[in-house]
Amino acid sequence: MATEMGNIESAQEVLRRRIDEARNRASKTVCDTVRQEYERRLGNLCKLLVDAEAARQSHDELLDDIEREDVHNGFLRPVHPHFMGDRRDGRVSYFLKEVREAGHNA
């Protein structure tokens, strides 16, 4: 019984290894096939994020100008895009840095 269990475990390990190897080959094939489309979509995302950063900067500059003039901007009820992180080095710039570090030209 112990010998049979050992044989079964050995066979299962061989099967797991073969499945992993086949999955890796198939995954590489799929990734190679969709790489161009992925790069296009990632590039589009990065461009829109850069545009969003520029719009945020413009938004913040207007609020800064109003504040410099000692205007109480509470009547505007300004909304700040906190989800983007810090305005000088926020999440968008961090994401773009990660994209470059991953070797993408987006």
Q: What is the pLDDT of residue 106?
A: 84
Instruction: Parse the chain into domains and list their residue ranges.
Output: 2-101
The pLDDT value recorded for residue 2 is 86
Q: Walk along the chain (106 residues) and give the pLDDT tens digit of each residue.
A: 889 899 999 999 999 999 999 999 999 999 999 999 999 999 999 999 999 999 999 999 999 999 999 999 999 999 999 999 988 888 999 999 999 999 998 8
Q: Look at residues 93, 28, 89, 88 and name the one whose alpha carbon lies nearest to residue 101.
A: 93
